[in-house]
Amino acid sequence: MAKKIAVGIDIGTHQVKVVVSELLKEKSKTIPRIIGRGLSESKGLRHGYIVNQNDVIKSLEKSIKQAERSSNIKIKKAYISIGGVSLEGIKSEGSTIATKGDYEITELDIEKAVNSSKNNLQLLNRKVIHTIPIQYKVDGQKVLGHPVGLKGKKLEVQTLFITYLKQHLDDLIHAVESAGIEVEDVVASPIASSIVTLTKSQKIAGCVLANLGSETVSIIVFENNIPISLEIFPVGSINITNDIALGLKIPLEEAEKIKTGSVSNTSYPKKKLDEIILARLADIFELIDAHLKSVGRSRLLPAGIILTGGGSGITTIEDLAKASLKLPSKIATINFINNSSSNKIKDSTWSVAYGLCVFGLTNTEESKKDKIFKRIKNWLRQFSI
């Protein structure tokens, strides 16, 4: 029987990561097992979008070849992530009149209401990637959960549309295809990461997943097991590096090493270094809190903030997040992993690439029989209305 393989490619501004995963049968379960990975320095991107096509293609080819060698598989197609400042979450409302004679709400009514909310959007130069209904009303009354089967004349829906600039998406797909890879599907980076970093209980209670990338910070807010908001900020861990370089009058390369903790026992005053790092992180958490206030969730997410991305490795970031946001705080860990020893993934910076694999593997026949995949598949189904 042919192996069930999925490949995820996370094209970040700092690094390109490729993960190859297969379905492994263990007793009565099917588990996603990482069998290969590739990593290369990312060149040709700025804030998540392409500024030099050739450089991006070269970065892709390098990481893909690494993944092919480690997995012993020729990669022909993959799921890719999209992120950066081109990504935007837009909310819109729509409504419809129940089509059945007895006014029982049907799936068709939901589809019509969601389409109505989409028609109310101003989508100039943007493409909808995910469509997520987040709140229903039947005859003006809020509905807890799904409205199918309820009786009422009018169905209203508030929908979150996760969109991307069409030109930037076309450029990204062209680069991947130029590297010899067929694009199976495109997934927003925060969605892909959330699949393997957040538990169902966290998403139900309410939480915010924050990815501190090199040049951007992305956040996605969950409540009642669905994303209710997404935001991208044009600031990242590279700004902390720049601040250290300016504050201590040192080269950028040395500042990066100090930031990540790869250099210890430096002669620089620890107090000044801490002040520089904390000042920039405080600015980032202020942006996050401002967004949470705008959606009415400031200090109101019981599962708190979960931190991922390269910037999450900064010492004391957990405590600062807790103090700044007045929320529980933790560093993300990857769920459901069953690594082979030679391809072991140890931190959440790989969560987007691995989440893409899990996303892809939910469509296989074997995975449909497994409870873990069934839960993920049911959760993802709402994004394809």
Whole-angstrom distance, CA of residue 197 vs CA of residue 192: 9
Give me the mean pLDDT over the 156-176 stretch: 98
What is the CATH architecture assignment of 200-331?
Answer: 2-Layer Sandwich (3.30)
Classify each residue of 10-49 as buried b or exposed e, where b means 16 or more C-beta atoms within 10 Å of its C-beta.
Answer: bbbbbbbbbbbbbbbeeeeebbbbbbbbbbbebbbbebbb
232 burial type by CB count under 10 A (0-12 exposed, 13-18 middle, 19+ buried):
buried
pLDDT computed for residue 307 by the predictor: 98
Give me the mean pLDDT over the 32-44 stretch: 94
- Judge whether residue 204 has pLDDT over 80: yes
Tokens read off for 378: 């049911």
Among 6, 8, 10, 9, CA closest to 31: 6
pLDDT computed for residue 251 by the predictor: 93
How is domain 5-85+166-189+335-381 classified at the CATH fold level?
Nucleotidyltransferase; domain 5 (3.30.420)
- Note whether 90 and 43 are within 8 A (CB): no
Q: Give 154's pLDDT tier (boundaries 50, 70, 90).
A: very high
pLDDT computed for residue 268 by the predictor: 83
For the chain, what is the mean pLDDT?
Answer: 90
pLDDT computed for residue 335 by the predictor: 58
Q: What is the CATH code of the structural domain delimited by 87-163?
A: 3.30.1490.110
Whole-angstrom distance, CA of residue 29 vs CA of residue 12: 33
- Judge whether residue 102 has pLDDT over 50: yes
365 burial type by CB count under 10 A (0-12 exposed, 13-18 middle, 19+ buried):
exposed
Tokens read off for 112: 């019509």
Whole-angstrom distance, CA of residue 350 vs CA of residue 17: 7
User: What is the torsion angle, in degrees rounded to the nearest 10, for the CA atoms of residue 131, residue 132, residue 138 and residue 140?
Assistant: -100
Give me the mean pLDDT over the 242-258 stretch: 92
- Judge whether residue 65 has pLDDT over 70: yes
Give me the mean pLDDT over the 84-109 stretch: 95
Q: Give 385's pLDDT tier (boundaries 50, 70, 90).
A: very low
Convert the pLDDT of each residue in 354-369 to its tens digit. 999 999 998 655 545 5
Whole-angstrom distance, CA of residue 372 vs CA of residue 375: 5
Tell me which of 12-21, 92-101, 141-150, 260-269 is least confident: 260-269
Give me the mean pLDDT over the 366-384 stretch: 54
Query: Cβ contacts of residue 111 below 8 Å, gap of 6+?
Result: 385
Domains 5-85+166-189+335-381 and 87-163 share a fold: no
202: number of Cβ within 10 Å: 22
Tokens read off for 3: 């192996």
Whole-angstrom distance, CA of residue 17 vs CA of residue 9: 6
- Note whether 169 and 71 are within 8 A (CB): no
Give me the mean pLDDT over the 193-205 stretch: 95
Whole-angstrom distance, CA of residue 201 vs CA of residue 289: 22
Every domain of the chain and the residues it spans: 5-85+166-189+335-381, 87-163, 200-331
Helix (H) or strand (E) holding 157: strand 154-165
Q: Sort strands 87-97 and 154-165 into parallel, antiparallel or unpaired.
A: antiparallel
Convert the pLDDT of each residue in 313-342 to its tens digit. 888 899 999 999 999 999 999 854 555 555
pLDDT computed for residue 217 by the predictor: 98
pLDDT computed for residue 31 by the predictor: 77
